A and B are shown apart, each in its own frame.
Chain A
Amino acid sequence: MAKLAEAAKGFDQFKAAVARNDLSTAKRLLTTLKLKLTELAAPPPVYERTPTSQQELLLAREVLEQAVLLSVRLQDEAAFERNFMQLKTYYTDSRSLLPASKAEALTTGLNLMRLLVQNRIAEFHTELEVLPAEAHASRDVQHAELLERWLMEGAYNKVLAARDSMPDPAYAYLMERLLTTVREEIAGCSERAYDSLSVADARKLMLFASDQEATAFAEERGWEVKGGRVFFTGMEASTDAAELPSKELISHALTYARELERIV
């Protein structure tokens, strides 16, 4: 009991620190808070049935949810992943023991976004499969699902437009990260699809604030800027000069020889 009260007090302090926007204190408090949680008996993996097990589990879940949100604000993706992994068991294995959490949709959506940003598409889909039907209906998850579909299709302009329709301000950091990825993608597509583009169009396509920025980006990627137009000439030469993949051919031939020898 005493331990639970102590942990609850620590959580209040932590929440106060977050509310004050004192993130470094919050981070420090969180570490001690997590240590205190390990002393409780009810949270996984022990699952001991104590009279206060319900409160203990609820507290632990809330702490971890806050931890996830804090790590997003701190822009610490590794900590995010760790915290979410710890939290996940409360949404799966202990689901039947607890009432549904309000923050579940948000944290799940954030996690999906993180996987998208880190380009871990396989894990993204694995996570999608685990989600129950009601989670699929939530706005956060649908948002992430749509983003993934647009990215796969190539409808990048929709992804860029989605910046204004975020379900929660907590997504801001991840959306910014996604934007950089998308810009790279658009650049990659453009240099193959267009012969040339006017600087103004390029700026609009890749969402730069000014023409200068666009020109700087073009030079970074080795495009030629001449008379207000961007020429993607550099790419042409490298793709046309198709050379013979001699090393590959040799290794194939050697494999055939070895295998045939084994048969005969």
Chain B
Amino acid sequence: MAKTKEGEAAKKAAAEAAAKPPDEPPPPPLTPTEQLRANTELLEKALDAEILAEYVRGALPAALPAALPSRSTLLAHLSKAEEDMEMDAPAPSGAAAENGTAPVGLLPEVEAYAFLLVVTFLVDRKRYAEAKEVATAALKRLGEYNRRTLDGLAARIYFYFSWTHECTGTLSEIRSLLLALHRTAVLRHDEYGQETLLNLLLRNYLHYNLYDQAEKLRSKAQRPEMARSTPQLCRYLLYLGRIRAIQLEYTDAKDCLQQAARKAPAGALGFRLAVAKWLALVRLLLGEVPEYGELTAQGLAAPLAPYLALAQAVRSGDLTAFQHVAETHGGTFAADKTGNLVARLRHNVICAGLRRINLAYSRISLQDVAAKLGLASVEDTECIVAKAIRDGGIEATLDHAARTMSSRETADVYATPEPAAAFHARVAFCLDIHNEAVRAMRFEAGANKKELETAESARQRAIDEEELAKELEEEDGVL
């Protein structure tokens, strides 16, 4: 009995959370969906199957025929989950308990919320197959409505729908369905849906390494001008960064990944880890050295250890060390889908090694260069050095007959346009940040007006005071 009371309390809380978000406005303007999500997170810990079943029964009254199928699916799944967990509660008996108290016009939002709660509940308990069924049912139900107020909830359900498919390894089957949903979302100006679905599609393609298709979709798909949710933007940036890295556009990739890393919430460890891995590789490929702190951040150090070892090998320009790292951690890199990027790093290792040699020796035989770099033959070395010279990696000349490499006088950097270019890059970066910040500022719809009103009343008050003062003065004058 005590249990049911507790359950009822939670149910009420859940119902309240679903029905109306709390009145007092929190400092940053949250959308109702975000508020709801925050509340849900608090609630989730207290939920168990029984309470949820109660809530579902309360939220979706049996009298409403339209909601009936959803109600029975949800309850069936909950009762199954409950039985498996060997709880002593009686299985819910369906429609018998309550009949007449159907509220006039049940909100579809409440139904969607019920679906969402049950799906998250099942996912939390790793019952992916069932969660998949529920999510599919939810999707079917959502398809019957066209309400902008549902968008936020629907986007969350899309996410879980795709997630359950990913966990059960059937991601490729839902691709055309997601594409159809995305099309609908664009036509209906459902910006939440557009963002979420585009990300899900990109994730879907990248899961199967279909970078080509992902890039084609991304470049053609319409994106809402302003990102509605930061997490989705972060994900988008990560996917875009990955695509760019594969396409050898490392500078673009670095920009995207850096932004993603900056915008990601501190708690999202898994996401930050993925970004850190790609970012480290892209920086290495660009010839930069990732910061030590970046690779040893709290909570990320252990999984990033292979990448730290890689960075050290590349920095020292030691080809044998690099090969050793690539071999010992080959499994990790393959699992992270970064194996091919790591293979591309070989060239960077050689370049770094050459640069060190070039700085240290004014003249060195190619035989020694080959030995120091761990290259197989002198002929290879000669060609490689020649290419490095042409690409501007090192300042040197070769003597074919004597088989030596001699360094050129290092030119004064300040006599070249180099400093100007560096200065320009920084200024452009600052301006970009400013523009992004301006664009990211969001204003509440009515905030502007309210301020104006207060300004008006302030002016009114000032006028009143002035008049009062005048009157007083006049009085003074009379006296």
Write the residues of chain A forming the contact surface with B, with a CB cutoff of 8 angstroms. Answer: 121-123, 125-130, 145, 149, 152-158, 185-186, 188-190, 192-195, 197-198, 201, 242, 244-245, 249, 252, 256, 259, 263
Which residues does chain A contribute within 8 Å of B158, judged by CB atoms? none
A189 with B389, Cβ < 8 A, contacts A197-B400, A249-B420 known: yes
Which residues does chain A contribute within 8 Å of B427, judged by CB atoms? 256
Judged by a CB distance under 8 angstroms, whether B211 is at the interface is yes
Give the interface residue-count category, chain B: 35 or more
A153 with B387, Cβ < 8 A, contacts A129-B211, A130-B209 known: yes
Which residues of chain B from 356 to 384 have any CB-CB distance to chain A below 8 Å in the complex?
379-380, 383-384
- Complex interface: stretch among B160-168, B338-346, B463-471: B338-346
Please give me the residue from chain A that is nearest to B209 by CB atom: A129
Partner of B397, one of A123, A153, A158, A195: A195
> When each residue 225-249 of chain B gets 1 if its CB lies under 8 Å from chain A and 0 otherwise, what string results?
0000000000000000000001111
A194 with B209, Cβ < 8 A, contacts A125-B247, A149-B343, A189-B383 known: no
17 A–B contacts from the bound complex (CB under 8 Å): A122-B248, A126-B247, A129-B211, A129-B337, A130-B212, A149-B343, A153-B384, A154-B385, A154-B388, A155-B380, A189-B389, A194-B400, A195-B397, A244-B417, A245-B417, A249-B420, A263-B434
Please give me the residue from chain B that is nearest to A245 by CB atom: B417
Among A128, A129, A198, which residue has the most Cβ atoms of chain B within 10 A? Answer: A129
A193 with B209, Cβ < 8 A, contacts A155-B380, A155-B383, A259-B431 known: no
Of all A-B residue pairs in the complex, the 8 with the closest CB atoms, nearest first, are: A154-B387, A189-B386, A193-B386, A122-B247, A129-B209, A193-B389, A189-B390, A192-B390
Judged by a CB distance under 8 angstroms, whether B96 is at the interface is no
Which residues does chain A contribute within 8 Å of B400, judged by CB atoms? 194, 197-198, 201
Complex alpha-carbon distance, A158 and B350, angstroms: 16
Judged by a CB distance under 8 angstroms, whether B347 is at the interface is yes
**Nearest CB of A to B147, in Å:** 35
Judged by a CB distance under 8 angstroms, whether B416 is at the interface is yes
Among B383, B385, B420, which residue has the most Cβ atoms of chain A within 10 A? Answer: B383
Write the residues of chain B forming the contact surface with A, with a CB cutoff of 8 angstroms. Answer: 208-212, 215, 246-249, 337, 340, 343-344, 346-347, 350, 379-380, 383-390, 396-401, 416-417, 420, 424, 427, 431, 434-435
Which residues does chain B contribute within 8 Å of A242, judged by CB atoms? 416-417
**Nearest CB of A to B70, in Å:** 33
B340–A198 contact, CB under 8 A? Answer: no
A194–B384 contact, CB under 8 A? Answer: no
**Nearest CB of B to A195, in Å:** 6
Beyond A130-B209, A149-B343, list 15 extra A-B contacts (CB 8 Å): A122-B248, A126-B211, A126-B212, A129-B211, A129-B337, A130-B210, A153-B346, A154-B385, A156-B383, A157-B380, A157-B383, A194-B399, A198-B401, A249-B420, A259-B434
Which residues does chain B contribute within 8 Å of A188, judged by CB atoms? 390
Which residues does chain B contribute within 8 Å of A256, judged by CB atoms? 427, 431
B397–A194 contact, CB under 8 A? Answer: yes
